[in-house]
């Protein structure tokens, strides 16, 4: 379990997180949602130890992150962030093999197992054909898939992802999140697309102004009036043909007036 309790953080005099709690139990996929500036990425950074909160604690299976060495943490927790983490002239295969470093001893050379795990990770994200390409020459979507492959090669039992569907086309947005669900790994993921959160997350946490406004199953959090208040947009929850919830959106002006109502009859 990855858990954060009463997390507070500020940049200068500006509070960004104000007493936020979040946890993900074994195998759960938990989505962090909320408008821009709500604190999602800052919270995620505290969860993988890149940022030390000014107050509050983060624990991994009950152990504070501060007590874990960097190699121990890397073996337990994989991270996919939005920005590229390397500008070195590495091939795609070598970039993914960086995920194997936590499993290697000092000066240990790559093993057949490392190569096999990296190849399988690239295949799982549909990027095996990119293995010999220069990472720096990839498109944004290709880079994102390679960084996800590197996280998979790490074989950690906890996964943190900051907008993993950014730059991906619709097919790979669903492909990647379906893969995350199939992994059975404890996952916390920042998502802007509320319909992706509804379809692939076990629970969601709605952040607004540095606070957790709601948390629970997607159908509980996303089908609530509070969501419209936070996003300042009219939202209608309907049921898709597969029984899943789907959200429809309409513009809402400053007075609360909306565009003409949708013609949806409750099913897509």
What does the DSSP assignment read for 183-248?
A: HT-EEEEE-S-HHHHHHH-SEEEEEETTEEEEEE-HHHHSSSHHHHHHHTSEEEEEE-TTS-EEEE
Q: Do residue 173 and residue 208 come from a single domain?
A: yes
- Can you give the residue range of the structural domain that contains 265? 232-268
Q: Do residue 220 and residue 112 come from a single domain?
A: yes
Total domains present in the chain: 2
What CATH number is attached to the domain comprising 91? 3.40.50.300
How does residue 2 score in pLDDT terms, banded at 50, 70 and 90?
very high
pLDDT of residue 162: 95
Burial environment of residue 195 by CB neighbours within 10 A (0 to 12, 13 to 18, 19 or more): middle
Kindly report the average pLDDT of the chain as a whole number: 90
Q: Do residue 78 and residue 127 come from a single domain?
A: yes
Stretch 214-233: mean pLDDT, rounded? 89
Q: Do residue 9 and residue 21 come from a single domain?
A: yes
How does pLDDT run across 168-217, given as a tens digit for each residue? 899 989 988 998 998 889 999 999 999 999 999 999 999 999 999 999 99
Q: Do residue 218 and residue 268 come from a single domain?
A: no
How does pLDDT run across 102-133, given as a tens digit for each residue? 998 766 788 999 999 999 999 999 999 999 99
Q: Do residue 197 and residue 266 come from a single domain?
A: no
Residue 54: enclosing H or E segment and its boundaries? none
Q: Do residue 105 and residue 7 come from a single domain?
A: yes
Q: Locate the DSSP E strands across the chain.
A: 2-11, 14-24, 29-33, 55-60, 63-64, 77-80, 158-162, 186-190, 203-208, 211-216, 234-239, 245-250
Q: Do residue 257 and residue 125 come from a single domain?
A: no
Q: Do residue 206 and residue 242 come from a single domain?
A: no
Q: Do residue 254 and residue 145 come from a single domain?
A: no
pLDDT of residue 263: 43
Q: Do residue 198 and residue 142 come from a single domain?
A: yes
In sequence order, the β-bridge partners of residue 30 are 188, 203
Q: Do residue 118 and residue 243 come from a single domain?
A: no
More confident residue, 166 or 28: 28
Give the global pTM: 0.88
């Amino acid at each position: 379990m990855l858990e954060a309790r009463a997390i507070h953080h500020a940049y200068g005099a500006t509070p960004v997180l104000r007493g936020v709690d979040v946890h993900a139990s074994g195998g759960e996929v938990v989505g962090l949602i909320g408008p821009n500036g709500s604190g999602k990425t800052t919270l995620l950074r505290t969860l993988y130890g890149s940022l030390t909160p000014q107050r509050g604690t983060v624990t991994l299976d009950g152990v504070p992150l501060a007590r874990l060495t960097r190699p121990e943490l890397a073996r337990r927790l994989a991270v996919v962030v939005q920005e590229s983490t390397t500008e070195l002239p590495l091939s795609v295969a070598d970039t993914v093999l960086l995920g194997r470093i936590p499993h290697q001893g000092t000066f240990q050379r790559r093993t057949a197992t490392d190569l096999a795990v990296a190849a399988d990770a690239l295949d799982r994200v549909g990027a095996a054909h990119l293995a010999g390409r220069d990472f720096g020459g990839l498109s944004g979507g290709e880079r994102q898939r390679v960084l996800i492959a590197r996280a998979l090669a790490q074989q950690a039992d906890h996964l943190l992802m900051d907008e993993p569907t950014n730059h991906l086309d619709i097919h790979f947005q669903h492909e990647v999140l379906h893969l995350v669900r199939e992994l059975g790994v404890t996952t916390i993921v920042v998502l802007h697309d509320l319909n992706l959160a509804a379809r692939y997350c076990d629970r969601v946490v709605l952040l607004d102004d540095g606070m957790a406004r709601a948390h629970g199953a997607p159908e509980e959090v996303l089908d609530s009036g509070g969501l419209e208040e936070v996003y300042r947009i009219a939202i209608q929850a309907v049921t898709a043909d597969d029984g899943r919830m789907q959200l429809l959106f309409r513009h809402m002006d400053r007075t609360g007036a909306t565009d003409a109502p949708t013609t949806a009859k409750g099913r897509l």
